[in-house]
Amino acid sequence: MMVKGYYHSKLTFGTVDGPGIRYVLFLAGCQLGCRFCHNPDTWARGQQTITAEEVLQEAEDYRQFYDPSGGGITVSGGEPLLQPEFVTDLLAKAKARGLHTVVDTCGLARKEAIMRVLPHVDRVLFSLKGSTEASYHVLTKARLKDILVNLQLIAARKPVTLRYVLIPGYTDGEDSLTALIRIVHALPQGVEVEVLPYHTMGIAKWDELGWDYTLRDVPEPAKADVTVFRQALQQAGINLAATEK
């Protein structure tokens, strides 16, 4: 029986979801419930489906761009690890065709799902929504300790780019910085960090859905503050992602 994945959208020339130029498939369904999510329309699974064969057939049309750039296929979301059967099928077939593979996850998933998908992944983009239990309690529906268990599991097996959103008043303070440094130092040395400035572009989607965006009054961080945060990580001996340098 052909495995189908529930998806939200797709992008054939992605440049910010892993190395090089990439085909990015945004799967539908997420349970994290981030208050600052810029794609809340991906939370519901919906009815739109796609097969691995359909994805790969489309991706092959752009391989002349993917391969020379060091790109490939990225499965994002929503949360892709909620659909491990489909993601495994897709990435295994992608690897068989010589395509570089990336999974973009928030880490809220079962261990069994993670272990099923990982053998077919070249790099993991791991979105860390905060660095303290307090920030996770306020910003998400998950517990940081559960997320960190999965982060350790993944980082011990695959190259990881840890993505951290800098939100004024929530994830940018000295306590958050110290906690983030401690988290990264507990991971394998190859882990790199990408600091992403909080932005307000998702508010329009919340409004379209008729949902209350509770961080409406939170400003985007100043460029100087983002730079200082990144420099503090570097001074702590943490590797920044290539996009940060």
The per-residue DSSP string of the chain comes to: ---EEEEEEEEEEESSSSSSSEEEEEE-------TT-S-GGGSS--S-EEEHHHHHHHHHTTHHHHHHHT-EEEEESS-GGG-HHHHHHHHHHHHHTT-EEEEEE-S-S-HHHHHHHGGG-SEEEEEE--SSHHHHHHH-SS-HHHHHHHHHHHHTTS-EEEEEEE-TTTT-SHHHHHHHHHHHHTS-TT-EEEEEE---TTHHHHHHHT---TTTTPPPPPHHHHHHHHHHHHHTTPEEPGGG-
In this predicted structure, the answer to whether residue 2 has a pLDDT above a threshold of 90 is no
Q: What is the pLDDT of residue 244?
A: 58
- Hey, what CATH class is 4-244 in? alpha beta
* Arithmetic mean of pLDDT, 236-242: 93
* Arithmetic mean of pLDDT, 100-115: 98
What's the predicted TM-score (pTM) here? 0.96
| Share of residues in the chain with pLDDT > 90 (%) | 96
Q: What is the pLDDT of residue 109?
A: 97
Q: What is the pLDDT of residue 116?
A: 98
In whole numbers, what is the pLDDT of the chain averaged over residues?
96
Domain ranges within the chain, ordered by starting residue = 4-244
